[in-house]
């Protein structure tokens, strides 16, 4: 006879938080949303990778591209670049995110002294970068001969055949820093000499990196941005259980900070094999999350396999039809509560804390707060991020309203068969996702900051200044269908929906 779970499978909409005592210091501005991303010995050591807001973007074609990954890292979260593309293109997207930031940036725009203005224009068009280093070998580590920016040439008065040595700013006229200088010292040189960029060289005049003024300004505007030890944005990437032996090394070489196995079902031998390979080849130096699971048994399995975080949720995504197609899944709130209980028991037993990621089931902003109260360490979001300017999908007009395209990895459009792979033919036998539209919402920055303001405000209402404290103090109550109605505007005529003219 089948096993029957005793509790009803519940969603976030069936719960509300009950406020707790708040001291005068418990105000939203004092609330920290910092959270661990990967496993560690809690109370003994610092988590090797933390994020400053508990939000990560889903491993989806219509969500996690270079622009969104950069924008989210600036706000304190992290993106997982989608893996349903070639190994080379995914690795290049990771490299693009790592190149786009801060501190000491290795030059990706380099020419040798025999290059011409035509080469400059072609390189600028290809990379989008206006600063070009001229080195003796045309590489990022060659002897620096000069620097070219857009101010060094005038297209209307040049033929394009001119050698770069005729119009570049030569080395002897450059202000430069030496390898080993601190970022603060380099920024001082930039400000003292009114520069936009500062080349960094070693004792043999070989180019090491650049420091850019715009990165200094960016950091001041984005105090929560998440950076690696080289002051580059953190970025994750999705992998599958088929080509991981080739994909993982390419992503590691590209500089990825954390990986995640992208699968609709994580309680499989395929995930075990993938994790075993990574641990054998890289030990614990490469961080990798796994999933998805919906119960205690699934968490215990992935924890024993060496997962650095565990992703929870099957069938709860807005574009996912796995439940109605296959009759498999679980209400996201019930799944999360069960897995979090297993996570806490595992920590008590081993001293190792494995973060839990809640993936799916988010309709309103307050659902994120509920997920955190229930014990999630961070939340993976697809539809939420797909609405923003920075998502890779097209903005279209539907019946006079701006919308963004949004499609599932199990849809006919994505055909990400690897995500739903159960060892059969290399194809998507039937769809488990839809192709859709979501309302366009504008820039990521404004929306994420608003959402985080709501989360901080609710935490303050519950008397908590940190997420661990929030999990410990949160009081949750089930709600009836009529109390849900009571919780919204009711028994009034809303002005902004009636077009009433007041005279």
Residue 183: both structure tokens together: 């970022």
Query: For 501, which DSSP code?
Result: P
Longest dimension (CA), the chain: 84
- List the catalytic residue out of 47, 50, 260, 320: 320
Helix (H, G, I), strand (E, B) or coil at 216: helix
Torsion angle of C-alpha atoms 441, 443, 445, 451, degrees rounded to 10: 0
Rounded to whole angstroms, how far apart are CA atoms 258 and 289? Answer: 8
CB 408 within 8 A of CB 61: no
Cα torsion angle, 280, 39, 226, 91, sign? positive
Contacts of residue 162, defined as CB under 8 A and 6 or more positions apart, other chains included, come to 116, 117, 153
CB 147 within 8 A of CB 174: yes
Tell me, yes or no, if 320 is annotated catalytic: yes
Contacts of residue 391, defined as CB under 8 A and 6 or more positions apart, other chains included, come to 62, 63, 65, 67, 68, 385, 404
Residue 162: both structure tokens together: 């001119």
Rounded to whole angstroms, how far apart are CA atoms 236 and 258? Answer: 5
Strand partners, 83: none
Which residue is associated with the tokens 């690795």? Answer: 91
A 10 A CB-CB count for 24 gives 5
Cis peptide before 141 (omega within 30 of 0): no
CB 467 within 8 A of CB 35: yes
Rounded to whole angstroms, how far apart are CA atoms 238 and 422? Answer: 18
- DSSP characters over 320-340: B-HHHHH-----HHHHHHHHH
Tell me, yes or no, if 305 is annotated catalytic: no
Residues in the chain: 503
- List the catalytic residue out of 343, 383, 419, 456: 419
Residue 287: φ, ψ to 5°: -95, 135
The residues carrying an active-site annotation are 320, 419
């Amino acid at each position: 006879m089948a096993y029957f779970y005793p509790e009803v499978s519940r969603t976030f909409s069936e719960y509300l938080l009950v406020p707790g005592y708040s001291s005068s210091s418990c105000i939203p501005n004092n609330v920290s949303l910092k959270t661990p991303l990967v496993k560690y010995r809690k109370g003994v050591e610092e988590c090797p990778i933390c994020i400053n807001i508990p939000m990560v973007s889903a491993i989806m074609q219509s969500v996690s591209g270079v622009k969104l990954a950069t924008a989210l890292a600036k706000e304190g979260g992290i993106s997982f670049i989608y893996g349903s593309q070639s190994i080379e293109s995914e690795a290049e997207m990771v490299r693009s995110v790592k190149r786009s930031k801060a501190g000491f940036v290795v030059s990706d725009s380099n020419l040798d002294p025999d290059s011409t203005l035509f080469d400059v224009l072609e390189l600028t068009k290809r990379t989008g970068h206006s600063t070009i280093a001229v080195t003796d070998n045309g590489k990022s580590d060659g002897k620096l001969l000069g620097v070219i920016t857009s101010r060094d040439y005038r297209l209307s008065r040049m033929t394009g055949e001119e050698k770069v040595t005729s119009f570049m700013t030569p080395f002897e006229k450059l202000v430069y820093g030496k390898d080993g200088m601190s970022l603060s010292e380099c920024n001082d040189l930039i400000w003292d000499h009114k520069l936009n960029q500062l080349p960094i060289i070693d004792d043999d005049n070989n180019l090491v990196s650049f420091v850019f003024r715009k990165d200094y300004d960016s950091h001041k505007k984005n105090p929560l941005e998440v950076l690696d030890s080289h002051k580059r944005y953190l970025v994750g990437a999705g992998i599958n259980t088929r080509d991981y032996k080739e994909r993982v090394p390419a992503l590691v070489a590209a500089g990825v900070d954390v990986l995640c196995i992208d699968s609709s079902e994580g309680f499989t031998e395929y995930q075990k094999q993938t994790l075993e390979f990574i641990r054998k080849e890289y030990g614990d130096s490469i961080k990798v999350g796994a999933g998805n699971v919906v119960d205690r048994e699934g968490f215990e399995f992935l924890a024993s396999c060496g997962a650095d975080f565990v992703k929870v949720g099957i069938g709860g995504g807005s574009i996912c039809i796995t439940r109605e197609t296959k009759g498999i899944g679980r209400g996201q709130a019930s799944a999360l509560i069960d897995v979090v209980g297993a996570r806490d028991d595992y920590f008590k037993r081993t001293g190792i804390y494995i973060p839990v990621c809640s993936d799916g089931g988010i309709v309103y902003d307050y659902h994120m707060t509920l997920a955190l109260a229930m014990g999630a360490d961070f939340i993976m979001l697809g539809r939420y991020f797909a609405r923003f300017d920075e998502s890779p999908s097209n903005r279209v007009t539907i019946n006079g309203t701006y919308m963004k395209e949004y499609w599932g990895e199990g849809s006919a459009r994505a055909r990400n068969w690897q995500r739903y792979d159960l060892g059969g033919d290399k194809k998507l036998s039937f769809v488990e996702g839809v192709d859709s539209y979501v309302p366009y919402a504008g820039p990521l920055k404004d929306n994420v900051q608003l959402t985080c303001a709501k989360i901080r405000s609710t935490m303050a209402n519950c008397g908590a200044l940190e997420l661990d404290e929030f999990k410990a103090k949160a009081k949750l109550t089930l709600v009836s269908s009529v109390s849900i109605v009571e919780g919204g505007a009711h028994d009034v005529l809303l002005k902004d929906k009636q077009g009433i003219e007041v005279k």
